[in-house]
A and B are shown apart, each in its own frame.
Chain A
């Protein structure tokens, strides 16, 4: 059974940093691209970033480019999202998701989400 467990969320001041983690199990982690998707309170889904299985390819939404860095440690089956220069508009539940069906837009497996609140 595929399991994705996010951690690292919390309250941070504007301009601060936070690193999210997503521990994966139940599949060959290194064989799959992984994504981060976020959802601001009461708003829709917003794709944040994706990283290839080997970590060599990454893509970012314009809203986070230059501030967020996606990475992975395949030896630890863990996905990361380093978030710097955080803004109030980054407040959201952050989900990690496993890429399925060979398409970055397809995710059949999601974590439960971790809440990031950016506020002074």
Chain B
């Protein structure tokens, strides 16, 4: 059972917009930044979004992040086949003094 809760799966067709949610608590998302990672099969995770809604250099602006209260979301617009991957949210938890990850969301592009 992950401290951060994500839906196990999501799907969309090419060109669509998909949103993945991440629910936490006051000790993690409620007080700290949220980070989103993309992991393609057999590869290391890649940072997609930092500090809730910022994109590292090289990440397309099709990816966007938002945070409200104890929840966060990742939106992918103009869905492409290469976006098919696992997506994870993460945050520091002040109460546990650990980094907490969501369980991951497998995105399928139909």
Contact = CB atoms under 8 A, between A and B. Distances in A.
A binds B: yes
A46 B33 contact: no
Contacts of A105: 32-33, 35, 90-92, 99-100
Interface residues of A, number: 24
A111 B44 contact: yes
Interface stretch (A9-17, A78-86, A95-103): A95-103
Given A44-B101, A45-B104, A50-B99, A103 B92 contact: yes
B51 interface: yes
**4 closest Cβ pairs, A-B complex:** A110-B44, A47-B99, A44-B104, A105-B90
Contacts of A45: 37, 39, 45, 88, 90, 101, 104
Interface of A: 35, 37, 44-47, 50, 59-62, 95, 100-101, 103-108, 110-113
Q: Which of B86, B98, B100, B104 has the most CB of A within 10 A?
A: B98
A100 B100 CA distance: 16
Nearest to B49: A106
A47 B92 CA distance: 10
A108 B48 CA distance: 9
A50 B101 CA distance: 14
Contacts of B2: 44
23 contacts: A44-B2, A44-B102, A44-B104, A45-B39, A45-B45, A45-B101, A45-B104, A47-B90, A59-B97, A59-B98, A95-B45, A100-B47, A103-B50, A104-B92, A105-B33, A105-B91, A105-B100, A106-B50, A106-B51, A107-B45, A108-B47, A110-B44, A110-B45
Contact of A35 (B39, B86, B99): B99
A103 B49 CA distance: 13
